[in-house]
Structure 1
Amino acid sequence: MGPTIILYLLLFIIPFIGEVFYSFTDWNGISSSFNMVGLKNYIKTFGDEKYWYSMWFTIKFSFFTVIFSNLIAFVWSYILSHDIPFRNFWRALIFLPRIIGGVILGFLWRFIFQEVFVQFGKATGLSWFAQDWFSTESSSFWALVIVFTWTLSGYLMLIYSAGFASIPDTLIEAATIDGAKKGQILKDVIIPMLMPSITRCLFIGINWAMLLYDTNISLTSGNPFRLSEGATMNIYATAFRTNQMAYGAAKSTIFVLVVVAITILQVILTSRKEVEQ
């Protein structure tokens, strides 16, 4: 564990401490000197409507993405937990989108939305496909949700599959012998035994969705008019594009606290429902 702890300290803990420190200064990220300004950056952040709009956008995006990706992953893993032909092939195929990098994923789906979907919509008369996907806040939002759900569900499927594999066959057999239907077995046996996997998948989904940046910038670039800009994009723009590093650090610190609070609450709520095997 030593190397892992050292890397975690160097890459996460120490930079975060430095971020908190600089959030109380007026450092612009370039100058060799700075002054302490107290809570000025935090007061400014709480009055920044654009930042809180991006925060709300991120929370909404995370909510729908986590729900959809977990449902899809659960269904896939449930189907593939049965003895079906080419089961490992289907698992690999569903996981494949996770291998594609976030920036490439965004550009790839941008082409699909602007060319493939539009042409398909025109050919079939389905206006939902033929729309200009990045011209409105709503369409940009759902484009992001579709893409991230597509790439996240394959990864979560592996965790759920491991959870299904850990459920003793004797429990399913005993429930079947007692006359339980498939729906009852799923509700009263499988889901309670899968709660550890559900806790992990929700935790991973919330963190990855809240911290989304690369796919956001390559797919929508915040368009239209920064209405599809996530919190991480807003923080980056503040810190690096306008050289307000201290102000960006204050925004980032608040964002980290929000993410930590949400994930802790989720872990507490779902871990209480876990049962021992």
Structure 2
Amino acid sequence: MGNIGDIIMEKAIKKFWPVFVLPTLAAFIIGFIWPFIWGIGLSFCKFTTVNNVQFVGLDNYFKIWIDNTFTHAFWFTAAFTVVSTTLINVFAFLLALLLTRHVRGTNLFRTVYFMPNLIGGVVLGYIWQVLLNGVLTLLEKPLLSLNATYGFWGLIILMCWQQIGYMMIIYIAGLQNVPPDLIEAARIDGANSRQVLTRVKIPMVMPSITICTFLTLTNSFKLFDQNLSLTGGEPAKATQMLAYNIYDTFYARSGPQWKGIGQAKAVVFFLAVVVIALIQLRLTRSKEVQQ
């Protein structure tokens, strides 16, 4: 009976698959593919609305690099991404190690550490703005919006606090999948705790490292909500990241040429994120152990 049922189900799927696929495919094309292609086309134009378009070729792309705010935002974002990706993954992995030692109350700790990831970015930014500015006031230091260095580290603290718990869950899943027999064999061969960690556990959780590095890297590079609410790009756009810089170019500057430049910045931003993510995936996947 089971085989007959499977055959009937398979025939039904082959017959009616368009009914299920086409609505989703149509929504994807209308909501993503077409706007994406249209957006690339607008990056070569000067426009105020999509019905008032003037083709200018590569002029928008040349003007990107003349805009000092974009180049500064690019390097600021790159530095932020390197620091936040490193810190998030290191601390998330250390927490995962601690919470896989069968310590009492680990489920409670996992829940508590994961909760910050559930808070919206804008709300989180304003909460940390109040907290950090309060601490800086007590220490008689400049506020986040008055000092670029404090603004940078404020963003790092916020991002780490929000993302560490989420990455920790992924690392815990990876560590729990390491075969106990493999660890036991390493200990029998005389490996100490550090050697078990570096020679057995880390190589075996490389798929988790690949996922977490990819997520933290792309999330850091695309950061917008927290940047907007925590520092607002201040002082003088010194803490403005790429996504916020594109938003500022497109909406805050007057003149039809700036919308085209903002669109060109968005295309460059997209390409940068794709290239960096692909390089990271290639590097980390090459170190994964085939199981």
Structure 1 match to 2:88: 69
Structure 2 match to 1:13: 33
Structure 2 match to 1:149: 160
> Where do residues 1-277 of structure 1 align in structure 2 (5 Å cutoff)?
2=21, 8-28=28-48, 30=49, 32-116=51-135, 118-119=137-138, 121=139, 130-242=141-253, 244-277=258-291
Q: Which amino acid aligns with 2:249?
A: T
Partner deviation per Cα, 1:234-273 (whole Å, 9 max, x = no partner) = 1001112225322111000011111111111100011000
Q: Which amino acid aligns with 2:263?
A: A
Aligned sequence identity (%): 37
Q: Quick one: structure 1 residues 7 and 266, their matched pair in 2 at CA, closer, same or farther if it must change by over 3 Å?
A: farther
Structure 2 distance, partners of 1:13, 1:140, is: 36
Superposed structure 1 runs of 4+ greater than 4 Å apart: 1-11
Choose between structure 1 and 2 for higher RCO, CA contacts under 8 A separated by at least 6 residues.
1
Q: Is the 2:99–2:106 contact (alpha carbons within 8 Å) kept by the matching residues of 1?
A: yes
Q: Which amino acid aligns with 1:153?
A: I
Distance apart, 1:151 and its partner CA: 0.5
Q: Which amino acid aligns with 2:269?
A: F
Distance apart, 1:114 and its partner CA: 1.3
Structure 1 length as normaliser, TM-score? Answer: 0.92
Distance apart, 1:9 and its partner CA: 4.2
Partner deviation per Cα, 1:57-112 (whole Å, 9 max, x = no partner) = 11111110000000010000011111001111000011111011100000000010
Q: Quick one: structure 1 residues 150 and 5, their matched pair in 2 at CA, closer, same or farther if it must change by over 3 Å?
A: farther
Distance apart, 1:46 and its partner CA: 2.2
Q: Quick one: structure 1 residues 16 and 220, their matched pair in 2 at CA, closer, same or farther if it must change by over 3 Å?
A: same
Distance apart, 1:132 and its partner CA: 2.8
Structure 1 distance, partners of 2:284, 2:151, is: 31
Structure 2 distance, partners of 1:272, 1:54, is: 31
- Which protein is bigger by CA-based radius of gyration? 2
Q: Is the 2:145–2:232 contact (alpha carbons within 8 Å) kept by the matching residues of 1?
A: no
Unaligned runs of 5+ in 1: 123-129
Structure 2 distance, partners of 1:9, 1:45, is: 29
What secondary structure does 1:255 align onto?
A: helix
Structure 1 match to 2:14: none
Structure 2 distance, partners of 1:187, 1:10, is: 48
Structure 1 distance, partners of 2:75, 2:287, is: 28
What secondary structure does 1:215 align onto?
A: helix
Distance apart, 1:209 and its partner CA: 0.5
What secondary structure does 2:146 align onto?
A: coil
What secondary structure does 2:55 align onto?
A: coil
Structure 2 length as normaliser, TM-score? Answer: 0.87
The count of aligned residue pairs is 268
